[in-house]
Amino acid sequence: MEEFSEKDFNAVMDKICEIGEEFNTTSYFESLTEEQKGHSVSIVKLFANHMYTYCLQTIEKWNVTGLVEVCIEIFPRKVTAPHEFFESVGPVLKEFFLFCAEKDYTPYAAKLSEAVERISNEIVENASSPENWGMAKSMMMPSPQQDSETGKQGRTIPFRSEPKTGRNEPCPCGSGKKYKKCCL
């Protein structure tokens, strides 16, 4: 059984940087929207990182099983990013895999491209659902009650249901003393 190797990880990341720079000059990259282009470097690097870190797959060994695990389970759990990032994952990886197929960088690139296109909606759905988030992501992402545009809290449920007792009012415990002399 293979084990994580810092040397192999660094080799994967170095290679993906080289391939990514080449990808950025192609018609595949140009077919993306401006938003997708803006997220493309992060998406490709995170994908390569997680494919090796969690699936121990170097670029030459990428397969559909690893792709599905990373995009459907790991990205939603680990990657803290806005909704638009996850909407870009499918289109960016599809074009990246088509480019990799043309250059023969990974043997299953065409199948990866088809697979990521099939699961694009599921990627977005899983990433939008707080029950799929890991603990760190849950702490960093806005709560479902928080407005994503303004960052302001939406309707909140108050903790205290009855009015606060004043210091000089009778104590609610029923002793007859002023609150400040009894239970304060």
Q: Which residues pair with 146 in a beta bridge?
A: 153
Structure confidence by residue, pLDDT tens digits, 53-100: 999 999 999 999 999 999 999 999 889 899 999 999 999 999 999 999
**Structure confidence at residue 167 as a pLDDT band (50, 70, 90):** confident
**Structure confidence at residue 156 as a pLDDT band (50, 70, 90):** very low
Annotate 112-140 with b (16+ C-beta within 10 A) or e (fewer). Answer: bbebbeebbeebbebbeeeebbeeebeee
Residue 44: Cβ within 10 Å count: 20
Residue 178 has pLDDT above 90, yes or no: no
Average pLDDT, the chain: 87
pLDDT greater at residue 115 or residue 173:
115
116: which residues sit within 8 A by CB, 6+ positions away? Answer: 67, 71, 89, 90, 93, 94, 97
74 burial via Cβ count (<10 Å: 0-12, 13-18, 19+): buried
Per-residue confidence (pLDDT) for residue 165, from 0 to 100: 77
| Cβ–Cβ under 8 Å, residues 83 and 35 | no
Enter the tokens of residue 48.
């390569």
Percentage of the chain lying above the pLDDT 90 cut: 64
Per-residue confidence (pLDDT) for residue 74, from 0 to 100: 93
Structure confidence by residue, pLDDT tens digits, 18-66: 999 999 999 999 999 999 999 999 999 999 999 999 999 999 999 999 9
Structure confidence by residue, pLDDT tens digits, 126-147: 998 888 788 877 777 775 555 5
In the chain, the largest separation of any two C-alpha atoms, in whole Å, equals 86
Instruction: Name the residue among 114, 109, 88, 107 with its Cα closest to residue 31.
Output: 88
| Rounded CA separation 79/127 (Å) | 8
Per-residue confidence (pLDDT) for residue 63, from 0 to 100: 97
Q: Which residues pair with 170 in a beta bridge?
A: 178
